[in-house]
Structure 1
Amino acid sequence: MLSAQVVLVALFLHASAASADDLAAPGSPNMTACSGSINPPVGCVTIPIVSDSCFNFVGGASGLDKEVSWVQVPAEYACTYFQNFGCLAVEEDDHATLTCGIWNMFDVLVPTASGTQNFNDLTSSLSCVRSGSAASDV
């Protein structure tokens, strides 16, 4: 049996030229990540959420590695975006958790030793969980 992540990568490899709507899994919640704008959509990919699983931007989604500028998190979910593959958080400034809504990663600020930095073009992996009342850590 294939793991959920392998199945997701296979979907992206098969449909890398497809529109974001074509990649959505029917009946499952999805989050959207865009390298350009979200409205109108430019460089957007819809990612089916497998709760508590790590999604790495590899394979058909590798074009988004370190290129995510906009995201849309569905209602009742919180997604954490990581600078590292494998959803690995080493430092306080290498991840950001966002709740439902549309987010411009330029506006998502994380603390650093010298102040704050935005999270634009930093994401390499993400993980989402169902969390109807979770608060953003940014």
Structure 2
Amino acid sequence: MSLRKRRAIDTAHVSEITGKYSELIARAALLANGWTVHRAETDESYDILATDPVSGDHVKVQVKTIRQREDRGGDLVVYAKKGNGTAYDRADADYIVGVWAADGEVPRVYMFENRLLTEYWCAEARAAERWVELPIAFNRALFTELPEVA
């Protein structure tokens, strides 16, 4: 196989690979922050079903790759559209998790409530204020039992 054909094959799968990578990073970030992450045996409208470590609620999460728009002053954008171009409704996702994976950088993961929009914008400097950042570093202290209060 020639290099030219090999490159065309790799390029054709870039969006799929990027999406799978973002989903794996999102799962790792949720786990690192105490969430229980479930796997569906069938394809679902959401990417991840997770259990909130505080409330115990099960939530549906849609994972999207964050893009940085240089034509918008470097703003971060999450395109939250279904295949038909419409916004995710509550039946599809309770939360959106955006994964920002700049080339060669450690990815950053942000989680925010699904507000039924097709795009979510944020200045890079304000991302951690507007969205909840989920560190991907594992923190064992989150999983230790708290002492009983007398």
Larger radius of gyration: 2
Task: Answer 1 or 2: which has greater helix percent.
Answer: 2
- TM-score normalised by length of structure 2: 0.29
Greater share of strand: 1
Instruction: Give TM-score scaled by structure 1 length.
Output: 0.30
